[in-house]
Structures are given as structure tokens and as C-alpha cells.
Amino acid sequence: DSGVTQTPKHLITATGQRVTLRCSPRSGDLSVYWYQQSLDQGLQFLIQYYNGEERAKGNILERFSAQQFPDLHSELNLSSLELGDSALYFCASSATGPRYGYTFGSGTRLTVV
């Protein structure tokens, strides 16, 4: 157990639907990062939150949004889902930024049918 909890582990949904992925960071970590990994691809940075505020944005689609709550857990909302959104979505957390290494969750496998 890495200390970063992602739920659910697997999600199957239909095109056009909306889903919410949840992440609880490791205790004490203020930063949460979301990444998307499509099949046999590298990881694409989506967005980062630090202590409740958006810190950096990557290649995140307008159909996707995220937030970090006062208890530091984060949610990634994906709407109007398309087949191409099928991927593994990772959450990672860190205490002082990525320079000291992320702790990754085990990911949420999203399948859009």
C-alpha cells in the first residue's frame, strides 16, 4: 500500500456518461497530481492541486475537471465520455513538489463502451 488511495479501481461506462474518480493523498501530502495513461503509452499530466488550489494544468480536456477538497482528497470528473477516454487514470501525491518523487496510487481503469 503506497498510502495514496484511488477509487474505484475499475469503472465501465457508456459513451456520453459522466464519472467521478476519487483520490486520497498520502497523509501529510498537500499536492495531488492527476495523470492519464492510455494503453501502452506514457503518462500525460492532466492537472495539479496544492492545498485546495489549482497549481498547474496540462493537457486536460474541457470535458474534464478536478478539485481538491479541504480534507485534501481530490476528485477528477470526466463528462461526455468518448471511447478514446478509456485509460488508466493515476493520482499521485507529494509533500514538497515532484522534485522529491511522487507517491502514486494504484490507478483507476476506465473503460468507455
Partner 1 sequence: AQTVTQSQPEMSVQEAETVTLSCTYDTSESDYYLFWYKQPPSRQMILVIRQEAYKQQNATENRFSVNFQKAAKSFSLKISDSQLGDAAMYFCAYSGGTYKYIFGTGTRLKVLA
CB of 99 to partner 1, least distance (A): 5
Q: Which residues bind partner 1 (CB under 8 A)?
A: 2, 31, 33, 40-43, 45, 48, 50, 55-56, 58, 88, 90, 92, 97-104, 106-107, 109
Which residue lies nearer to partner 1 by CB, 18 or 57?
57
Length of the chain counted residue by residue = 113
CB of 78 to partner 1, least distance (A): 19
The residue type of 37 is Q
Which residue lies nearer to partner 1 by CB, 84 or 101?
101
Among residues 110, 86, 81, which one has the least CA distance to residue 15?
81
Rounded to the nearest 10°, the torsion over CA 85, 20, 72, 29 is -30
